[in-house]
Amino acid sequence: MIESKKMIVSGRVQGVCYRAFVQKQALKLAISGYAKNLPNGNVEVLACGEAAAIEQLLERCKKGPIMAKVSGVEVSDCAVTTAQGFDIL
């Protein structure tokens, strides 16, 4: 089943290649959407794809790349998008 989730990732997630990490993981899992830095230092991730793939991406987002230090991930449902690919904004 296709679904969309929005994740707000907090911690040390800017300046550590976090968005590129999420993009690489999302493309491996055939998830579309984006990752973008927020002014408050968090990263917003929109993920659209199979429910099981999104769950895998969520688990990977909780860890992040080696230089990141994720302190929390807030997840919410959102309207399914028809985005293609996974962008870094």
Catalytic pick among 12, 19, 40, 60:
19
Does residue 37 have an active-site annotation? yes
User: What ranges in the chain are assigned the alpha helix state H?
Assistant: 18-28, 51-63
Does residue 40 have an active-site annotation? no
Catalytic pick among 12, 37, 40, 42:
37
Residue 24, classified by CB atoms within 10 Å of its CB into exposed (0-12), middle (13-18) or buried (19+), is middle
Any idea which residues carry the catalytic annotation?
19, 37
